[in-house]
Amino acid sequence: MRAQPTLSVSEWKFQRSTTTKVAFFSRNFWDDRKCFPGPENDARQRKLKDRTSKAERRALQESQRAAKEAARASGNQTFFMPGMWEAGTNPYGSNEKKGVDKKPVDKSGEKDKKKEVVVPEKDKRKDAPAPRLQFDDEQKVAKARRRAIVEQTTETKHRVELFRHLPQFVPPTQLQALEEKYLQNDTMHIHPAVGLKYLTWDIVGGNARCVAMLEAFKEMIRDYTTPPQKVMSRDLTAKINSHVSFLSTCRPLSISMGNAIRSFKLKIGKLRDTLTEAEAKSSLVSHLETFAQEKIILADKEIVKHAVTKIIDGDVVLTHGFSCVVEMVLSHAHSIGKKFRVVVVDSRPRLEGRILLRSLLAQGLKCTYTHINAVTYIMQEVTKVFLGAASILANGTVYSRVGTAAAAMVAHGYRVPVMICCETYKFHERVQLDSICSNELGDPDALVGVAGRKEFRELVGWDESEHLRLLNLTYDATPADYVSMIITEHGMVPPTSVPVILREYRKEPIL
C-alpha cells in the first residue's frame, strides 16, 4: 500500500473555497496531486494519457452503437459503459467474478416489471390540467366554435388589447337567439334555462350560481333515459358536457362551479355496471344533494361559528360588496347580542353592497354606507375587515369581486386585520399572481351611466369613437400578504396553509 499523501493548509483551503469545479476535477490536478493512489488511479491516469483522436472516438461510438443494435436484435438487453471495450474484456461474455457463483436471472419477470412501470401518454395528458382557451388565437377560437352547441361570439367592436385573450362579454341581445337554439336541440331539453339567468345576471354569486347549476343537473338526471346500444356513464358524460358548454357560453364558469362539475363527472365515472338505471340515477341525485349540503350549507354554518368569535363589543367591521357568508356572520353576531357597527363599502357598476345594507338595516344593525373611493378615510376607524371570496388559489391569492384587493391593501396599510370567509370547495390548485391572465369581462355599457344621475351622459355613444375603449373587470386578485386569516369550515388558517387544506382535506379529489 502506498502512503496517503497529506495536503498543506493552503492546498486544503483551495479545495474547500474554490467555486470552479473544473479546476478541482481537472486532469492536471489528479496527475499532480494523486489524491487517490492505487491500481485504479494508475489505470485512470494511463487512460487519460493515452488520448484518442476524434476519428478513433467516432469509430468507437459507431462500433458500440452497432453492438447495441445487434444485442437488441438478439434479445440481449445489455447496456455498455465506457471502458468495456478495453483489452481483456468481452461485452458479450460472462461478467462473473472469481469465487462468486452466477445466479440465473429471469428476464421475463424484468420485462413484465418494465411494462408495468410504463405510463401511457394518454394517462399523462389526463393528469395535466386542461389549458384554458386563449381567445386571441384565431385557430383555437375557430375550433371551439365548431365544437360548441351554440354560436360563440368572441369578436367585439372595441376590444381592449391587453385583455383580448379573455372571453368577451356576451350582450343580452342574443337571448332570443340562444333560446331558439337550445329549444330546437333535443339534447338540451329545458334544463340549461338556468344559463339564460346567468346571461342576464339574474343569478350572481359563487354559491348561488353553483346551487342553481346543481338543481338543473338534478332535473336532468331525473328526466334522463339511457339510449339503446349505449352505456349510461359515457352517454351521460356527453350530455353533461353539452350542458356545461351552454352554461359557459352564457357566462364563464366560476371556479366553484368547475369544482362541482368535476366532482359530478368523477361520480359518474365510478358508477358500477351492475347497477340498474334507476339505482344509478338515484345515486347521482343523492351525490348532488350531498355536495350542496356538505360543501355549501353545512360549511357556511361552520364558518359562521368560527368567524363570530373574532367580533367583540365595540368593533367597527368593514366589508366590501355582498357576500352571503359575511352576511350570515354579521347577522349571527348581532343575534347573540354583540354590539358592533358595520361599514359597507360598495363599488360601481353593480353596487351589490346595497343588498347587504338593506338586509342588515332590516335586522337593526348600525351601518355606514360608502363607496370604494372613500375607503382610505373610513379605514381610520375600522377595527376588523371581513371579506368574501370567489376562490382561493394555492399560493394564498384571494380571487374575488373587483375592489376587494383595494380594500385589503388599505386595511393592510392601516394594520387592520383582514379575514376572508370562504368554503374549501372554492379552493383551487392553480397559482395566479395577477388578474390579467384570467378574469371575466363585464358589460362595458354598465360604466356609461350613473344610477340616479341622468345628467352624466358624456360617455353615451362611446362605441362610435375609434379611440375609446371601456373595460369592466369582474374579479381581482388579492395577494396573500394582505390577508391575515382565512376562515373555512375546517378552522382558521393563514394563507400559507392553503396547500395543506388542498392536500389533507380532499380525501375525494374534486379538482
Lookup: cell for 247? 352554461
Distance (Å) of CA 94 to CA 60, 82, 89, 91, 110: 21, 17, 9, 8, 19
pLDDT cut 70: percent of the chain above it: 67
Q: Which three cell numbers stand for residue 232?
A: 349510461
The CA distances from residue 167 to 71, 164, 194, 203, in Å, are: 56, 8, 20, 19
Kindly state the percentage of the chain with pLDDT values over 90: 39
The residues near 118 (Cβ < 8 Å, ≥ 6 apart) are none
Residue 133 confidence (pLDDT): 60
The answer on pLDDT for 365 being more than 80 is yes
Instruction: Report residue 57 CA to chain centroid gap.
Output: 50
CA nearest neighbour of 249 among 172, 150, 171: 150
- Pick the more confident residue, 156 or 51: 51
Which residue ranges form the domains of the chain, and what is each CATH number? 1-70 (no CATH), 170-299 (1.20.120), 311-439+474-504 (3.40.50.10470)
pTM of the model: 0.68
- Compute the distance between CA of residue 290 and CA of residue 508 in angstroms, rounded to an integer: 13
Q: Is pLDDT larger for residue 454 or for residue 344?
A: 344
Closest of 58, 59, 64 to residue 82, by C-alpha: 64
- Residue pair 162/434 in contact by the 8 Å Cβ criterion: no
Other CB atoms within a 10 A radius of the CB of residue 8 amount to: 8
| DSSP single-letter state for residue 425 | G
Q: What is the DSSP letter of 453?
A: B
* Best CA proximity match to 444, nearest among 472, 475, 474: 472
- The top-scoring range by mean pLDDT among 142-151, 162-171, 319-328, 449-458 is 319-328
Distance (Å, rounded) from C-alpha 496 to C-alpha 485? 10
Backbone angles phi, psi at 315, to 5 degrees: -70, 150
Q: List phi, psi (to 5°) of 396.
A: 85, 0
pLDDT grade, residue 83 (50/70/90)?
very low
Q: Tell me the average pLDDT across 339-346.
A: 95
Helix/strand/coil for 27: helix
Among left, alpha and beta (phi > 0; psi -120 to 50; other), residue 465 is: beta
As a whole number of angstroms, the distance between CA 243 and CA 223 comes to: 14
**Mean pLDDT of all residues in 25-46:** 51
- Region of 364 please: left (phi>0), alpha (psi -120 to 50) or beta: left
| C-alpha distance from residue 302 to each of 308, 329, 393 (Å) | 10, 10, 21
Task: Write down the mean pLDDT value for the chain.
Answer: 77
Q: What number of CA atoms fall less than 13 Å from residue 22's CA on the CB side?
A: 0
- The predicted pLDDT at position 506 comes to 63
3-state secondary structure 103-151: CCCCHHHHHHHHHHHCCCHHHHHHHCCCCCCCCCCHHHHHHHHHHCCCC
Give pLDDT, residue 279. Answer: 92
Is the model's pLDDT at 471 over the cut of 80? yes
pLDDT at position 383: 96
**Spatial separation of the C-alpha atoms in residues 212 and 219, rounded to whole Å:** 11
Radius of gyration of the chain (CA): 33
- Using CA atoms, how far apart are residues 346 and 323, in angstroms rounded to an integer? 12
Give the pLDDT band of residue 112 (cuts 50, 70, 90): very low
Give the strands of the sheet with 427-428, arranged side by side.
427-428, 391-393, 398-401, 475-478
Torsions phi, psi for 446 (to 5 deg): -70, -20
pLDDT tens column, 419-432: 999 999 999 999 98
